[in-house]
Amino acid sequence: MNSSFDEMNAGEAVVREHYQVYNRWLAEQPGDVMRGRREEAEMIFRRVGITFAVYGTKDEDGSGTERLIPFDLIPRVIPAHEWKEMERGLHQRVLALNRFIHDVYHAQEIIKAGIVPAEQIFRNAQFRPEMMGVDVPGGVYAHIAGIDIVRAANADGSGSYYVLEDNLRVPSGVSYMLENRKMMMRLFPDLFSMHRVEPVAHYPDLLLDTLRAVAPAAVNEPTVVLLTPGMYNSAYFEHAFLAQQMGIELVEGQDLFVKDNFLYMRTTQGAKRVDVIYRRVDDDFLDPLAFRPDSTLGCAGLLSVYRAGNLTLANAIGTGVADDKSIYPYVPQMIEFYLGEKPILNNVPTYQCRKAEDLEYVLSHLAELVVKEVHGAGGYGMLVGPAAAKSEIADFRKQLRAHPEGYIAQPTLSLSTCPTFVESGIAPRHIDLRPFVMSGKTVQMVPGGLTRVALKEKSLVVNSSQGGGTKDTWVLEG
Amino acid sequence: MLSRTADHLYWMARYMERAENTARMLDVNYQTSLLPQSADAAEKGWKGLLSISELTSDFGERYGAIHARSVMDYMVRDEKNPASIYGCLLAARENARAVRGTLTTEVWETQNQTWLEFKRLLASGTFQKDPSEAFEWVKFRSHLSRGVTVGTMLQDEAFHFLRIGSFLERADNTARLLDVKFHAMDTEFANPMNANGNGKDQEYDFYHWSAILRSMSGFEVYRKAYRNVIRPEKVAELLILRPDMPRSLAACMNEVVSNLERVANEQSGETLRCAGRIRSDLQYGRIDEIVATGLHAFLTQFLERVGTLGAGISRDFLVPVQA
């Protein structure tokens, strides 16, 4: 395994160019100033209530489950030329993914062309037969995509970006991107006068623009709402925050009802029609008549309104068929197939355990690979070979033999590191990046995204449910 | 606006107002208990406080005999008592959290900060050391919460439902406090001159009535409005009928009616009529008539009507009905 690529330090006492101003500034800051700022940040996050819920645990004082996501004061800086390239790649990738989903639910050209095997789609739990032949406005399915990107070191010491995962269902985290920037500007205004950092605060505006653009064609002034599972959901803060920033209603399933194949919400002035739902509820819970009958988070009859074209859901139902880990290996081919272009962003080389020769290789190299459940998310259900105990590897070997189709494996990428404040001072910690890509009339994004950081030493798991934190992400103007 | 949102706003405001009024009642009792008086009279005060909130039996079951310290614990920090200040501030904050996107950032942060700070103060023992200080703090946070609402919120439906919640709750709380406090003095009030010229009793009366006034921030107001010695029927008039006294029943009902009018919908006619009726009874009422028919009867009826009004508001605006 190569040693990691560090975003700031190119080597002993060599600071990369885009970090030099920051580094000089940091060297001048007394330690207690940074400590004080850190406490201030924590206090503000608490007061603002930027918390997430951890299911099944209690607060320090035993009264609840609201936690802060640790916020690190050292920004992750991306130089302009790198972002420009990444942006082109994201644009291309999301365009192809949307074309793919449309194709899956219509003519299925990509199967006919022999690129993606039919069983990979039809036996996928995320494939929704209800969506076959349904047309959605603009042919857009994944209106909001969170594409997870990491940087890994090459043999020559340079680094390359790889897409690790496409999140096309209900990707979250964008509120932290926005709040982190607000916090940094509040704590360190002088840094922003020393750097030309691309702003991100217009994200809610672009999002609203995207949602309005995909309203049913017959509607002139669409009513857009955000559907949340409720205040005990782990991402409730984000739902409330985005609804407020866009000035739209934050609705729960109980606020909605269907009448004459239209969707309405209950208001103090009677029923009001809803045209577009930015939903933060999974497919399975959207309509108890069509999916899980025990769900109270959705609204009975919603699917039929949707299929009749009287409602737009963002993201559409059935996008999960394209962000599954078993579909991931085909994305570069999708780009060539639908767009006739060479993929700009790299995929991580992936072994599909359902293929006999790949499984053979994986089983004999478990100690160096990362093995992931095809349907897993949130950092659960994975094996990090180099960090795993012998017994864990043995367990996974058994599972792999029993259900090879349920797993993929990838070489252990050493995610790049970024200097981070930890107990002992400043130390490198592994990071990733999740840009948020919006597709409506056009594909849009704000520069950067959410940088997540694994706070535990050597840990590669950046998920907030597993001790990850976040950083502000700066794209410098070119 | 969503019915559910209106419901959360309404209850957020009601709970915050209730927390303040509970603090006010506790404070006046605590202050009175510092005056030289018989143990009997002191107990009567605490008993009255529990009966205002209809908590006498729950308290008896869980705490037994009535002592100042245990009643205060029960009403301030008891997590199992939904009417405690703890319970009210938690409910206010949870309701706010459910609709934080509808509130301005300042309103939400004030509400959230109140809760976080309250828990910190409880844990640090500040409230036990100095109860008066604690009650002042609750009042202050309530002032702040109301002020930031008026100072930052758009005057749309959300604002009106917040105001309706605040003033309906205040009307209810003021009436309950008056009922219990006047009840305690029933004999004296029926015949204010039966003190037999005993200076001790007169002195006691002064402290009793001025304590009620103080609990409503009305002591200086009384002096200013009447430029007279403290007399029970004037106290009653100030707190029931004076529309310029911000905690009086009349002032509360004026606010309830004018805010209700702003959110009226197709089905709310009857509810508006009820509210208007209560208001006009106060607007055109006279204190001597009210006293003649019996203050207790008047206040009991008022509380019933306010209860019915609250149910009407829930039915017409807040509880989602299938259209």
**Taking a C-beta distance cutoff of 8 angstroms, is the pair B252, B13 a contact?**
no
* % of chain A residues with pLDDT over 70: 96
Q: Which one has a higher pLDDT value, B186 or A6? A: A6
pLDDT of residue B210: 85
pLDDT confidence band for B211 (50 / 70 / 90) = confident
**Closest CA–CA distance from residue A160 to any residue of chain B (Å):** 40
Q: Which of A326, A321, A347 is nearest to A408 (CA)?
A: A326
Q: How far is A271 from chain B (nearest CA, A)?
A: 6
Cβ contacts of B113 on chain A, cutoff 8 Å: 47
| Amino acid A303: pLDDT | 95
A155 pLDDT tier (thresholds 50, 70, 90): confident
By residue count, chain B amounts to: 323
> What's the rounded Cα separation, in Å, for the pair B156 and B259?
10
Give the nearest chain A residue to B115 (CA atoms): A47
Question: In terms of C-beta density within 10 A (0-12 exposed, 13-18 middle, 19 or more buried), how is residue A409 classed?
Answer: buried
Indicate the pLDDT class of residue B200, thresholds 50, 70 and 90.
low
Cα–Cα distance measured from residue A427 to residue A432, given in angstroms and rounded to the nearest whole number: 16
| Beta-carbon count within 10 A of A134 CB | 17
Backbone angles phi, psi at B203, to 5 degrees: -65, -45
Residue A381, classed as helix, strand or coil, is coil
Q: Determine which helix (DSSP H) or strand (DSSP E) holds A361, and give its type and residue range.
A: helix A356-364
CA B48 to chain centre: 15
Are B159 and B153 in contact by the 8 Å Cβ rule? The answer is yes
Please name the member of A241, A259, A267 whose beta carbon is closest to the beta carbon of B3: A267
Asked if residue B207 has pLDDT above 70, the reply is yes
What average pLDDT does chain B have?
89
Lowest mean pLDDT among A104-113, A387-396, B11-20: A387-396
Instruction: For tokens 């209810």, name the residue.
Output: B172
Preceding omega of A315 cis (within 30 degrees of 0): yes
Q: What is the pLDDT of residue B194?
A: 43
Q: Is the pLDDT of residue B257 over 80?
A: yes
Letter string b/e over residues A1-12, b meaning 16 or more CB atoms within 10 A of that residue's CB? eeebbbbbbeee
Does any CB of chain A come closer than 8 Å to the CB of residue B301?
no
H helices then E strands: how many in chain B?
A: 17, 0
Q: Does B189 touch chain A (CB under 8 A)?
A: no
- Mean pLDDT, residues A304-325: 95
What gap in Å lies between CA B302 and CA B158, rounded to an integer? 27
Distance, C-alpha A101 to centroid of its chain: 18
- What single-letter DSSP state applies at residue B317? I
Check whether A352 has a pLDDT greater than 80. Answer: yes
| Terminal Cα-to-Cα distance of chain A (whole angstroms) | 34
Check whether B263 has a pLDDT greater than 60: yes
Note the pLDDT tens digit of each residue in B77-118. Answer: 999 999 999 999 999 999 999 998 899 999 999 999 999 999
- Contact across the interface for B113 and A255, Cβ inside 8 Å: no
Confidence of residue B161 (pLDDT cuts 50, 70, 90): very high
Can you give the pLDDT at residue B39? 74
Architecture of domain A349-411: 2-Layer Sandwich (3.30)
Which residues, in sequence order, are CB contacts of A383 under 8 Å at separation 6+? A366, A369, A370, A371, A372, A392, A393, A396
User: Is residue B50 a contact partner of residue B202, using CB atoms and an 8 Å limit?
Assistant: no
Residue (of A255, A254, A227) closest to A242 by Cα position? A227
Residues of B182-202 as b/e, b for ≥16 C-beta within 10 angstroms?
A: bebbeebbeeeeeeeeeeeee
- Looking at residue B48, its pLDDT comes to 85
For residue A274, the SS3 value is coil
Compute the mean pLDDT over every residue in chain A, rounded to the nearest whole number. Answer: 91
CB-based burial label for A342 (10 Å; 0-12, 13-18, 19+): exposed
Contacts of A251 in chain B (CB under 8 A): 2
Q: Which of A268, A269, A277, A299 to mutate to test binding with chain B, by most B CBs within 10 Å of its CB? A: A268
Q: CA A308 to CA A319: how far, in whole Å? A: 19
Residue A215, pLDDT > 60, answer yes
Long-range contacts of B207-214 (CB under 8 A, 24+ apart): B207/B32, B207/B35, B208/B32, B208/B181, B208/B184, B209/B235, B211/B28, B211/B31, B211/B32, B212/B28, B212/B177, B212/B178, B212/B181, B212/B239, B213/B238, B214/B28, B214/B31
Are A297 and A230 in contact by the 8 Å Cβ rule? The answer is yes
Of A69, A71, A78, A77, the C-alpha closest to A26 is: A77
ipTM above 0.90, yes or no: no
* Rounded-to-integer distance, Cα A19 and Cα A169, Å: 35
d(CA B271, CA B305): 11
Q: Of A390-404, B162-176, B217-231, which has the strongest mean pLDDT?
A: B162-176
Token pair belonging to A59:
């607060």
Residues B101, A231: C-beta atoms closer than 8 Å = no
Mean pLDDT of B11-36: 90
How close is the nearest chain A Cα to the Cα of B3, in Å? 5
Chain B nearest CA to A239, separation (Å): 9
CB A101 within 8 A of CB A339: no
pLDDT band for B185, please (50, 70, 90 cuts).
Answer: low
Nearest to A47 among B112, B161, B318 (CB): B112
Q: Any idea what DSSP says for residue A348?
A: P
Render the burial of B203-236: b for 16+ CB within 10 Å, e for the rest.
ebbebbbbbbbbbbebbebbeeeeeeebebebbb
The phi, psi pair for A102, rounded to 5°, reads: -60, -45
Tell me the per-residue pLDDT of A257-296, one tens digit each, with 9 for 90 and over: 999 999 999 999 889 999 999 999 999 999 999 899 998 8
Q: Which of B4, B94, B318 sits opposite A254 (nearest CB)?
A: B4
User: Out of A16-25, B102-111, B120-129, which region has the weakest mean confidence (pLDDT)?
Assistant: B120-129
Of residues A362, A332, A361, the one with CA closest to residue A348 = A332
A interface residues, B as partner, C-beta within 8 Å: 46-49, 61, 63, 230-231, 240-241, 243-244, 249-252, 254-255, 257, 259, 264-271
Bridge partner residues of B232 (DSSP): none
Closest Cα to residue A103, out of A133, A147, A146, A144?
A133
Nearest residue of chain B to residue A232 (CA atoms): B98
Give me the residue spans of the domains in chain A.
9-216+311-345+428-475, 349-411
pLDDT band at residue B188 under the 50/70/90 scheme = very low
Comparing C-alpha atoms, which of A333, A316, A341, A375 is closest to residue A165?
A: A375
Taking contacts as CB-CB distances below 8 angstroms, the residues of chain A near B119 are 61, 63
Percent of chain B with pLDDT over 90: 67
pLDDT at B196: 45
Distance CA A90, CA A85 (A): 9
Tokens standing for residue A350: 């992936």
Q: Are strands A407-411 and A417-422 parallel, antiparallel or unpaired?
A: unpaired
Buried b (16+ CB within 10 A) or exposed e, B29-52: bbbbbeeeeeeeebbebbbbbbbb
- Angstroms from A184 CA to nearest CA on chain B: 18
For the entire predicted model, the pTM comes to 0.86
A420: closest CA among A105, A2, A9, A3?
A: A9
List, edge to edge, every strand of the sheet that includes A270-273: A256-259, A262-267, A270-273
Predicted confidence band of residue A451 (pLDDT cuts 50, 70, 90):
very high
Residues of chain B with C-beta less than 8 angstroms from the C-beta of A252: 4
Instruction: Please list every residue in chain B whose beta carbon sits closer than 8 Å to the beta carbon of residue A240.
Output: 100-101
pLDDT tens for residues A54-75? 655 554 444 456 778 889 999 9
- List of residues 6+ apart from B118 with CB closer than 8 A: B85, B86, B89, B138, B141
Give the pLDDT band (50/70/90) at residue B197. Answer: very low
What are the structural domain ranges in chain B? 1-153, 155-318
